[in-house]
Amino acid sequence: MHPSEIRTVTTEAQLREIVLEPSQAMWDKDIARIDEHARTIIAHSPFVLLSTSDAEGACDVSPRGDPAGSVLVLDDHRLAIADRPGNHRIDSFRNLLRNPRIGLLFLVPGMNETLRVNGRATLVSDAPFFDDLTVQGKRPRLAALIEVEELYMHCSKAFVRSSLWDPATWPDRKSLPTLGRIAKDHLGIKEVSVEAIDEGLAQDAETNRY
């Protein structure tokens, strides 16, 4: 493909020639607070995607999973998400130190609609609400305290198109590489077998969740 064959869009005016302006209702659906419906969805969501960027705009999206109800709604404008053991890169938190803007996408299994939340985050190393973030007896070392600036529901089309919740559309897991296989190839590991890497990863996931 030659670069001349790619027609780029560089202005909002060009973009609006392709995608028409939304109805006023679409602009007005942002309520900028955590109402009773948002609280219900957050309480039932065991999985949230957390989006951040650094001072230069380099982006990152991190999956966060916990038992449903683990994200705390502190009041109509604030919520808290605990940090759990991971790979120690802390990409999201390093970004937040440089740029506090944050985006969240809450998923509920079997529900095609999602809840989108945008705002500003502060890193917290301790607070009274940390006791409520404790899971399996483990109190988190860090949490993100998020001031909600935008909150709205996202329609079902992406999930309907993808059939995400339909097991009949899921690929056979055996047809995909394991994380051990991917890690071995990405890192050029010679001295350790795929099986050993997978076993170590599985043990870490089982024993180092909290």
68-84 pLDDT per residue, tens: 999 999 999 999 999 99
Nearest residue to 119 (alpha-carbon basis) of 141, 152, 155, 71: 152
Whole-number pLDDT of residue 58: 95
Nearest residue to 97 (alpha-carbon basis) of 72, 121, 125, 127: 121
Nearest residue to 115 (alpha-carbon basis) of 125, 123, 105, 127: 105
For residues 86 and 152, what is the distance between their CA atoms, to the nearest angstrom?
29
For residues 151 and 155, what is the distance between their CA atoms, to the nearest angstrom?
13
Whole-number pLDDT of residue 177: 98
pTM: 0.94
For residues 112 and 88, what is the distance between their CA atoms, to the nearest angstrom?
32
Per-run averaged pLDDT (10 residues), the chain, 210 residues = 94 96 91 97 98 96 96 98 94 97 98 98 97 96 98 97 98 97 97 97 94
Whole-number pLDDT of residue 104: 98
Whole-number pLDDT of residue 105: 98
What are the structural domains, with CATH classification, of the chain? 21-162 (2.30.110.10), 171-207 (no CATH)
Contact 125, 138 (CB under 8 A): no
Whole-number pLDDT of residue 196: 97
For residues 5 and 15, what is the distance between their CA atoms, to the nearest angstrom?
18
For residues 49 and 72, what is the distance between their CA atoms, to the nearest angstrom?
15
Whole-number pLDDT of residue 39: 98
Whole-number pLDDT of residue 24: 94
Q: Distance between terminal CA atoms of the chain?
A: 48
